[in-house]
Amino acid sequence: MKSLVKLQQKTASLLALLLLIGCTGTPATHNSPKTIFQTSQGWRETIDVRADAALVYGPGDLEARLASWRERGYEAAFMAGIAWGGYQDYFMGLWDGEPHFDQGQMNVQGDTIWHNKNTPYIVPTENFIRYYKEKIIQPVIDAGVDAIFLEEPEFWAAGGYSAAFKEEWQKYYGSAWMPQDQSPEATYLSNKLKYHLYYRALEEVFSYAKNYGKTLGRDIRCYVPTHSLLNYSMWEIVSPEASLASLSCVDGYIAQVWTGTSRVENYYEGRRAERVFETAFLEYGCMASMTEPTGRELWFLTDPIEDRARDWNDFSRNYKATFTAQLLYPRIANYEIMPWPARIFEREYPVAPGSEKKTKIPADFATQIGIMTNTLQNMPKSGNADFGDKGISVLMGNSLMFQKFPIHDGYEDPQLSNFFGLAMPLLKAGVPVSISHIENLGYPQTLRDVKVLLMTYSNMKPLQKEAHDHLAAWVKNGGRLIYAGTDSDPFQRVPEWWNTGGLDYATPADHLFSIMGLGCGPSEGLYQVEQGQVLILRQEPKEFAMNPLGKDVVLKAVEQLYGPLSKKNYLACERGPYIIASVMDECSGQGALKIDGQFIDLFDPALPVKDGVTIVPGENKLLYNLNLRPQGAAILAQAGSSEVTSNAESGFSFVNKGPSGMMNRCRVSLPAEPQEVSVSCKETVWSWDAPSQTVLLQFPCSPEGVSVNIKY
């Protein structure tokens, strides 16, 4: 037990710094770019996507690539992988004279987990951290970069078998390494160490960046682009996630959510399937709730395509689903509009499912992307959500990543069903269920607007007992808690704070219930706890996902504490003139959503004007409400971006810029029918729509600019 006590001391010292004790965030004090994108290329006309800032990826010819974007009016920052990247010089012994392939992550079969040739996923040792500071960070800052994005601190759950990892285990725990497939304890400790190693790596690298910048009189900002905790848990990857937000050297995150993460299948009503919109909505919610209480910055990312090759129709359909999901968070208004524009606009993909015929991006889809990403530039931060029932949240924590590999004692959590079993029934009922992070319970904002909180310890464990102090206080002050679980999974018995250091609880829930005055192992039922209530369900939440009738148990439990829910099959939101809506399928007795008014359909590259819109189940929409357009002449929708050069009583002029190869469609509101339209481009067509008082123009984009002059 000696080593386990040491484990608890180490864990407590680390997490007390990170979590739960009311640490305050550090809000941004500078003006960050609203829209960004990432590229490994220097500027060229086909990828001039008109965001505010370019994140230039990877070392090598960096100064020239940075300069090429700055010359075109972009802010420029540096981005690289922290778990992998162009670091062959380190692994091949070109940096310190010694090869370091033994520092790659390795699985139980003894196979290195490779990211690309001569670059494995890294065990971030102290030696690698020294290399990263010297060879990556210092030269980047010397090149004039003031913002650094280090993405995807990823340790594969299956990857705890390399010599480097065994050495880190000995240093951290002071005991002999245990193979993680040996027991639940070994799995848990292995994943906790992986979590610590990337926390340490980012803390040291970012602290170095900020301190080195200060010696030059500069403020270096440091960000972590990362998948959501939900996705990493499903993909069996360990990463520091929410804990990083407590570090003063971390300024914010990019929420890396896209079709590839959101199409991972999950269970609902006993059926396993892709639910891209719903999963994306929960992923974005996971990232928003992780960040918002801390005051850190956050950009939402979505991608018109994905890493795995699909067909263009699949890309387009799912891009709209994830795009809609991100817009349904009206307090977030900064966006990474796309990663890797070169692979979007310059590569070929199948024209249909299973087809061997490939083509570059269809013209209409390219225009569609331009319209959608330009809309993000104008998206206001706040809005009115037609969400109905608010204040219902599901608790999640970083230890979701600790229990996934391998299976022990026959206990499985298929497709993270213990989470989706609580969240999906609410979302499918039109409830915008939020996420609350157990790591953030020390911030008063975390549960401030929560009326009913659902939780389980079937898929995660509390890493600090202070979390229970916060939960108990919240309930006693009027909060309503639903706890679901039998507390029978094998990880209940891992050595942790609830069963070491003078505490002897069989499960973490027993400790929580005891400090609420309910004693250990309370049976199913409703309990009054001072001003609040606790409803205990003695079922595993995965049963609610994998059973066709399981959703009814969740909805009934929530209504018991919350009151009747106004169930519907859609989520919708107004943000300035924009209306965002998703009508979900798999919702019994619910049909189409009808919205009255006059709109521009921004998910149609033709930018049609519609009198009233009907949205059917399974469909997503982004609309521009013409009743809320500005007075006088104004550009309402376009691909590319424009600078207005003249707005007079008799005319309206602007210059539009966009990537070459993209066809621009632009709908402009005018006070009167145009008498003359002149465009500095021969391939131009335009038409007047009298009922909407708008003109639609079509012409090829140009990064050099296309001048438009309208007289009326």
Domain ranges, ordered by start, for the chain: 39-158+193-381, 392-562, 570-628, 634-711
Mean pLDDT (whole number) for 43-71 = 96
Q: Return the DSSP state at 547.
A: S
Mean pLDDT (whole number) for 576-594 = 93
Mean pLDDT (whole number) for 438-455 = 95
Distance CA(465)–CA(459), nearest Å, equals 17
Contact assessment for residue 565 and residue 574, using Cβ atoms and an 8 Å cutoff: no
> What is the structure's pLDDT at 385?
58
Reported as a single tens digit per residue, the pLDDT across 352-389 is 998 999 999 999 999 999 999 999 999 998 766 556 79
- CATH code for the domain defined by 392-562: 3.40.50.880
Reported as a single tens digit per residue, the pLDDT across 144-168 is 999 999 999 999 999 999 999 999 9
CA angle 689, 691, 693 (to 5 degrees): 60
> What is the structure's pLDDT at 14?
38
Reported as a single tens digit per residue, the pLDDT across 85-137 is 889 999 999 999 999 999 999 999 999 999 988 889 999 999 999 999 999 99
Reported as a single tens digit per residue, the pLDDT across 332-349 is 999 999 999 999 999 999
**Percent with pLDDT over 90 in the chain:** 89
> What is the structure's pLDDT at 20?
33
> What is the structure's pLDDT at 386?
54
Reported as a single tens digit per residue, the pLDDT across 186-231 is 999 999 999 999 999 999 999 999 999 999 999 999 999 999 999 9
- Please write down the HEC assignment for all residues of 363-425: HHHHHHHHHHHHHHHHCCCCCEEECCCCCEEEEECHHHHHCCCCCECCECCHHHHHHHHHHHH
80: tokens are 């690289």
Distance CA(622)–CA(582), nearest Å, equals 9
> What is the structure's pLDDT at 407?
87
Distance CA(534)–CA(547), nearest Å, equals 24
Indicate the average pLDDT of the chain. Answer: 93
What is the helix, strand, coil percentage profile of the chain, to 5? Answer: 35, 25, 40
> What is the structure's pLDDT at 27?
45
The CATH number of 39-158+193-381, from 3.10.180, 2.30.30, 3.20.20, 3.10.28, is 3.20.20
